Amino acid sequence: MDKKKTFFISTPIYYVNSHPHLGHAYTSVVADAAARFRRLMGEESFLLTGTDEHGEKIVQTAAGEGVSPRELADRMSAKFRALLPRIGVEHNRFIRTTDPEHQAAVQRFMQKVYDNGDIYFGEYGGHYCYGCERFYTEKELENGLCPQHRSAPTYISERNYFFRMSKYQDWLKQHILAHPEFIRPERYRNETLALLDSGALEDLCVSRPKSRLDWGIELPFDKNFVCYVWFDALVNYISALGWPEGKPFAGYWPEARHLIAKDILKPHAIFWPTMLRAAGLEPFRSLNVHGYWLSRETKMSKSLGNAVDPLGMIEVHGLDVFRYFLLREMRFGSDAGFSEEALIARRNSDLANDLGNLFSRVLAMAARYCGSRVPAPAEYGAEEIRLRELALRSFTIFQEEFAGFGFSVALEALWELVRSLNQHVDASAPWNLFKQGKTAELETTLYILLECLRKIALHLWPVMPASAGRMLEQLGSSLPLPYVFPHSLREERELFGLLKPGAILAPSSNLFPRLESPDREGPLPAKSKGTSAKKVPVTPEARELPGQAEYSDFQKLDLRVGCILEAEKHPEADKLLICKVDLGEEEARVIVSGLAEFYKPGDLAGRRVIVVANLAPRKLRGVSSQGMILTAETGKTLALLAPDGPLPPGAKVS
Ligand code: ME8
């Protein structure tokens, strides 16, 4: 058997001096989606994440809270770890820089660079930003301030160890030029090249005297110093794989992809590759840099007080909607604004209207015309062939974009297909094929729609694992756990027609219910103080009522605008009328309603009404009623409810 290809992806290891927020959740969700995608492509993937626990920042925060750095690190690291299952991230390793194996690996790494002659002892004075935990050169400061924190750095002069980083400047530049995908998107590659050309690359101070800071990893060659936090943290990417002897290191390191936001470009694009080179190791394969989530137009961050709690969003909208939004809304590499309104808009348009609607329409037609079994297709006509080609093309684009971190473009390609399929349902009008007795054409059309939906669900699994699983299940094609996919996505690109005729389908589905607007006032839930799910603030009116219906209860109702085509008296009941109502479907519905005391049958033709369209059919005095016409009544009078405008039959009421 061929050895499986490997794929290694890392998130930054997060500082334990602040709580996880939406920005951290985004990077971890991206890493998870990328790792799941590779698994679907038939590769062996490894996702690494964890926490960065040494350094001055942690000491300062711990002192502020009156606890030891160790206590702070234990508590906060647990919070970052607990977030992972709640945002659907399946990681292979959660590393902490206080893990003994990591500390030993950092010492070995340092010793190696030292033995190679690339660490020397010297005196240095420089502008130090405590927020960034690094020295800035004069050129890098903006108006004398740290460009990240907008605060004045502290001038520090002391004797320390230095890494001969400048020695590797030319090598790094050549490596970046020779490997276009080494740093991407391109703007960050250009930024790094510009930084190298500006001559800002000096040697890097890699120690801190213990007299000033002792919360760190001791240098193997001088016990009076600890290792600079970035030199310690970056090594996590190889220590987690068991470097130097570990088997995972040999298998995964050649395929290493790092994922970061642009705030930590320099340490990853410049410090890390030169460190690896000095230790005689191969560079990673690619550094993938995303932009910032902004909130109120500035970078979301705990210190600015504008951080969004991912758990609050998940509680209201569900995990899959949240993950879909993150991956669809942010163009990888650029900044994106976060607002709950934007999330609701995507939820309603992409998920409820486009995908959810297509899925429920196709299942309903399969129920009506094929007894909820996958039909066997006949020979494809020109239109079916066009649709199949369109679908396979969209899956190819999806896969290429997803592999290159172009998540939003990949999803847009998939949605173009979803929209085309919805149009195809309208154009091919399966209900007419049914009426005309064109069974073979009808079954072929439905088969193609169902097979496309199966493939769409499969491609969505990295983004929305639970919903994709439910879709596949409802298509009679459930996933054997732990996710054994019979064919890799790559193979799926060539194969069409894997859905088995005869498989049992769900009769209906409501995967993504619409939501009109946030059901609360005020701003988004702020950063959480912990990882436990918080109740979203409710308005004062939202008090408990007796017999109260949950929002989700209401969402179960499918209310539609209808038009009464004709009405007649029920032969068996004086109070009932039998109405034929157009709901924009292929056939008018028969609805029995208690209107006879208030309306003459002849007066009702042409009246717009509101109908509960998804009530289970019920027999009323021998006539099956397929819905309910809504009325308002006082006991003496009764009136039909109608829309206050010219809406077509079938328009949704919400
Ligand atoms: O920098 N938008 O840790 P950190 C998008 N320990 N992503 C964001 C974000 C935002 N507004 N805010 C944070 C560190 N992130 C170091 C890393 S790695 C060897 C050491 C995400 O806790 C994004 O991934 O400050 C960013 O790079 C990271 O959190 C910074 O996390």
Judge whether residue 57 has pLDDT over 80. Answer: yes
**3-class secondary structure, 285:** coil
Nearest CA to ligand 1 atom 11: 300
Higher-scoring residue by pLDDT: 545, 401: 401
Report how far residue 560's alpha carbon sits from residue 652's, in angstroms, rounded to the nearest whole number: 5
| Catalytic residue IDs | 21, 24, 129, 132, 146, 149, 299, 302
Buried b (16+ CB within 10 A) or exposed e, 458-476: bbbbbbbbebbbbbbebbb
**3-class secondary structure, 111:** helix
Cβ of 299 closer than 6 Å to ligand 1, yes or no, is yes
Whole-prediction pTM: 0.79
User: Of 54-63, 406-415, 491-500, where does mean pLDDT reach its minimum?
Assistant: 491-500
At 249-281, the pLDDT tens digits run: 999 999 999 999 999 999 999 999 999 999 999
The H or E element containing residue 576 is strand 573-582
Report how far residue 287's alpha carbon sits from residue 268's, in angstroms, rounded to the nearest whole number: 8
Judge whether residue 149 has pLDDT over 90. Answer: no
At position 551, the amino acid (one-letter code) is Y
Report how far residue 566's alpha carbon sits from residue 568's, in angstroms, rounded to the nearest whole number: 7
- Looking at every residue in the chain, the average pLDDT score rounds to 90
Pocket test for ligand 1, best of 27, 87, 405 (most atoms within 8 A of CB): 27
At 507-562, the pLDDT tens digits run: 999 999 888 655 544 444 433 333 333 333 322 223 334 456 666 667 778 899 99
8 Å CB contact between 34 and 462: yes
At 150-178, the pLDDT tens digits run: 889 999 888 999 999 999 999 999 999 99
Higher-scoring residue by pLDDT: 86, 603: 86
Q: Which residues contact 179 (CB under 8 A, 6 or more apart)?
A: none
8 Å CB contact between 248 and 3: no
Judge whether residue 3 has pLDDT over 80. Answer: no
Ligand 1: distance of its center to the CA of 301 in Å?
9
Judge whether residue 344 has pLDDT over 70. Answer: yes
Residue 228 confidence class, pLDDT cut points 50, 70, 90 = very high
Ligand 1: distance of its center to the CA of 20 in Å?
10
Report how far residue 114's alpha carbon sits from residue 207's, in angstroms, rounded to the nearest whole number: 12
- The predicted pLDDT at position 22 comes to 96
Pocket test for ligand 1, best of 9, 11, 15, 266 (most atoms within 8 A of CB): 15
Cβ of 23 closer than 6 Å to ligand 1, yes or no, is yes
Report how far residue 311's alpha carbon sits from residue 318's, in angstroms, rounded to the nearest whole number: 9
8 Å CB contact between 519 and 551: yes
At position 273, the amino acid (one-letter code) is P
* Closest-lying ligand 1 atom to the alpha carbon of residue 291: 5
Pocket test for ligand 1, best of 32, 51, 52 (most atoms within 8 A of CB): 52
Q: Which residues contact 642 (CB under 8 A, 6 or more apart)?
A: 607, 608, 609, 610
Cβ of 330 closer than 6 Å to ligand 1, yes or no, is no
